[in-house]
Chain A
Amino acid sequence: MNRQVLIDSPYEVKAGMIFQTRKMTEFEKYFQIVLPGSEDLGHEPGQFVMISIPGVGEVPISVSSSPTQKGFFELVVRSAGMVTAALHRLEAGDTVGIRGPYGKGFPYRAMQGSDLLFIGGGCGNIPLRSLIHYALDCRSRYGKIHILVGCKSPEMMLFVDELSTWSERPDINLDQTVDQGGPGWKGKVGLITKLIPPLAIEPEKTFAVVVGPPIMYKFVIQELLKKNIPSGQIILSMERHMKCGVGKCGHCQIGPHYCCQDGPVFTYEEIRYNHEAI
C-alpha cells in the first residue's frame, strides 16, 4: 500500500495560533486567531471556518469579525459539545487547525444602498456581528441601520460593550430584550418578535438579516412579512450539523441544499418551500 502526501485535499488544515482569548459569558469564549504569516483569512461576513483540535475533532464555527479587520480573525465559541469544550480549555499561544472560510456569506454587495435591519437571537449574534462591523466600517454604503438583539437572560448577552457603544451612535437604532429579566437588567423583557411591530421601516428598501435559533425564525419571519419586507430581502443564516464543510459528507443537507456550500446564508425566498428548512 503506497502512502502519498496530498497537496490538494479539501481537508488540508492550516495552523492557527490563538493570540488572545476572553471569557464572555458562562458558556461563550472569545478567540483571536492568527494564521501563518498573519495571512488574511479572506472571508466574507457570514462565512464559517472548520476549527480542529488534533485528537479531539473538528467543528464549524462562524467568523464573528469583519473582513475589514486585517491580520487576525475572531471566533466566539459556545461550549456545547466535545470539541467546543476542549476549545474552551485553550489559551493564548495554543495552536488549532483551521480550514476555510466556507459557505455563502451575507449578500453584502446586493444590500448596498439599502436600509439594514439586523435581528440576532442568542448565538446568532455571533455571525451577525461580522456583518454589522462590516456595515459600520463601510457606513456610507448603507442606509438606516436597525439592530435588534435578544437572548435568554441578561448574563447571556454577548458583546455588551459594543452594544452599549452602538446604542449611543445617532446613526444606529438599537433595541435589546431578554426572555427573562434578572437583577440589574433595566431593559426590555420578552421575545424578540415584540421589537419588530413598532419599527418605522420602508420595507421595499430594507434588508432584514435574521440569525438565531430555529424556533426564532418561524415567528420573526411572520412579523417581517407583516411589515411587507419582500421574501428575497429576508436573509437567514441556518445552523446544521457539519463534518466536511465542502458539500460531501451529507450531514448538513436541508432538502436539496448543502447548508455548508449553498448556505449557511439563504434568503427566505430560496427556502420557503423547502420541507426541511424552517
Chain B
Amino acid sequence: MPDISEYVFLDKNKLDFFVSKLNTRQRVVAPVRKGVKSYAFAEVPSAKDISWKYIPTILPPKKYFMPQYETIQKFDKSKRTWETVVSSEPIVILGVHTCDLAGIEFLNAMMSSAPCDAHYRNRKANITLIGIECLDYCDGSASCAVMKNELPHGGYDLFMTEMKQGFISHVGSDRGRNIASDSRIFTPAKPEHIRELEELRARKKDIFKPEINVSHEELKNLFSQSFESNMWREEMEKRCVSCGNCTNVCPTCYCFDLRDELDLSLTTGERQRVWDSCQNETFAKVASGENFRKKKGLRQRHRYMRKFYYPVEKHGLYGCTGCGRCTRTCMAKISLKETINKLAEEQQNSKEPVLNQ
C-alpha cells in the first residue's frame, strides 16, 4: 500500500489555475502539438496549450539540460583572459513521460560522474520536473515495457496520474512538496484515490508487455556477444545513411563538440558546446587522417553498444529508455525492435547446432 501522505490530488477544473500559477514564478514548458503526429516541448502560457496525450516529442527534454548550442566560455584574446560561464533560468517542465524521466536520470548519472560537468549541474538545479503517467502505448515504436519504463521510478519533483475526477500526484522531492503545499490547488489524497491508482496500475500490466523477444536482463548479454554480427557490417552498412537523426532525438545521447566562435571584433568570442553525433563520419577521425570508426555499420554498432552494453557494464544502467524516437525518426526505417529481434534470432540460430549435437 503506497504511503498516502506522499500523494496530493488536483481537481481537473483547477488545472488552468495550476498552470497559470506555475507561470507566475518561472517559465513553464510542456508538450504542444507541432504537426499531425509531432509534438515538442515548448512554452505554455496556459493549460489550453498543452497536449496531454502525446507521443514522444521530436526532441526529448534533454534540450533544457544540455542545449544544442551552449556557451561555456567567454574569452578575450587581447587581455588573454578566459571566463567560464553558464546561462540558466528557473524552468518547469510539465507533462514528462516516464521514458523521458528515465532519460534524464541517465544523463544525470553520466554528467555527474567525476569530474562533474558543472554546466549541466547548474542548469539541472534550476529545473523542476513534473511527470505524467502513460496509460497506454504511444505507438508501435515504443519499447518502454522491456526497458522497465512504463512505470515511474523517481527522478521527478511531482508525478501526475490522470484519473476520473482529476490527477493524483506523487510528491518526489522537497521542491515538489512546495508546489503541492498550495492548498488552493491541491487537496490531500483520499484512500479512494489511492485505490483508483492501484486499479489503474493493475490494468496497465495487461497493456504493457515486453515488446521484443529478449528480456530486460538478457539484453546486455545479447549485445556483448553481437560484436561480430553480420547486422553491423552488412545490413546496417547498407541501410544506414549516417544522418545522425537517431542520436539527436535520443534522450540519452549527449556526445558533443567544443567549438570556438570569434565575434566580429576578432578579439573576443566564446567557446561553445554543440551536440555532436557518433554517426557522423568524422566523429572518430584524427588529424593525421586515421578514422577509427570509418564504416557506417560500425558506427551504428557503437551507438547500440552505448545503449545496451557499455553503460550497463560501467554504471549498471541501460542507455535505452524505450521511447522509440530513433525508430520514428530514421530515414532508412531502421527499427530498434527489429534490430534486437534479428540479433536474438541470429544468436539463437548460431547456438542450435551445438544443442543438437
B109-117, B157-165, B196-204 - the one binding chain A: B109-117
Tell me whether B255 and A250 are in contact (CB under 8 A).
Answer: yes
DSSP majority for the A interface? loop
| B287 interfacial by beta-carbon distance below 8 Å | yes
Q: What are 14 A-B residue pairs whose CB atoms fall within 8 Å in the complex?
A: A4-B88, A6-B122, A9-B118, A54-B77, A58-B260, A213-B290, A239-B290, A244-B256, A248-B110, A250-B256, A256-B310, A276-B292, A276-B293, A276-B302
Contact flags B222-261 to A (C-beta < 8 A → 1, else 0): 0000011000000000000000000000000011111110
Q: Which residues of A contact B113 (CB under 8 A)?
A: 247
Q: Knowing A240-B286, A250-B254, A250-B255, say if A55 contacts B278 (CB, 8 Å).
A: no
Q: Knowing A81-B287, A241-B286, say if A55 contacts B262 (CB, 8 Å).
A: yes
Q: In the complex, which of the residues A10, A56, A81 has the most CB atoms of chain B within 10 Å of its own CB atom?
A: A10
B31-39, B49-57, B79-87, B175-183 - the one binding chain A: B79-87
| B211 interfacial by beta-carbon distance below 8 Å | no
Contact flags A62-81 to B (C-beta < 8 A → 1, else 0): 00000000000000000011
Tell me whether A256 and B259 are in contact (CB under 8 A).
Answer: no
Contact flags A245-278 to B (C-beta < 8 A → 1, else 0): 0111111111110000000000000000001100
Given A52-B271, A97-B75, A248-B111, output 20 extra A-B contacts at Cβ < 8 Å: A1-B89, A4-B85, A6-B86, A6-B118, A6-B122, A10-B117, A54-B75, A54-B76, A54-B82, A54-B260, A56-B260, A57-B258, A57-B259, A80-B288, A95-B80, A213-B288, A239-B286, A249-B258, A256-B310, A256-B313
Q: How large is the interface on B (under 10, 10 to 19, 20 to 34, 35 or more residues)?
A: 35 or more
Q: Which residue of A lies closest to B90 (CB)?
A: A2
Q: Identify A4's interface contact among B87, B259, B306, CB under 8 A.
A: B87
Q: Identify B256's interface contact among A214, A243, A247, A275, CB under 8 A.
A: A243
Contact flags A1-33 to B (C-beta < 8 A → 1, else 0): 111111111111101000000000000000000
Q: Which residues of A contact B227 (CB under 8 A)?
A: 275
Q: Which residues of A contact B87 (CB under 8 A)?
A: 1-4
Tell me whether A10 and B285 are in contact (CB under 8 A).
Answer: no
Contact flags A189-231 to B (C-beta < 8 A → 1, else 0): 0000000000000000000000001100000000000000000
Q: Which residues of B contact A55 (CB under 8 A)?
A: 75, 77, 260, 262, 266, 269
Bound form: Cα–Cα A23–B292 in Å: 30
Q: Identify A249's interface contact among B276, B293, B310, CB under 8 A.
A: B276
Q: In the complex, which of the residues B76, B115, B271, B306 has the most CB atoms of chain A within 10 Å of its own CB atom?
A: B115
Q: Identify B284's interface contact among A57, A240, A275, CB under 8 A.
A: A240
Q: Which residues of B contact A56 (CB under 8 A)?
A: 260
Tell me whether B288 and A58 are in contact (CB under 8 A).
Answer: no
Bound form: Cα–Cα A57–B118 in Å: 21
Report B239 CB to chain A, min CB distance, Å: 21
| A84 interfacial by beta-carbon distance below 8 Å | yes
Bound form: Cα–Cα A1–B89 in Å: 5
Tell me whether B122 and A251 are in contact (CB under 8 A).
Answer: no
Q: In the complex, which of the residues A3, A11, A244, A247 has the most CB atoms of chain B within 10 Å of its own CB atom?
A: A11
Bound form: Cα–Cα A154–B15 in Å: 78
Tell me whether B254 and A248 are in contact (CB under 8 A).
Answer: yes
Q: Identify A256's interface contact among B82, B85, B260, B309, CB under 8 A.
A: B309
Bound form: Cα–Cα A7–B116 in Å: 12
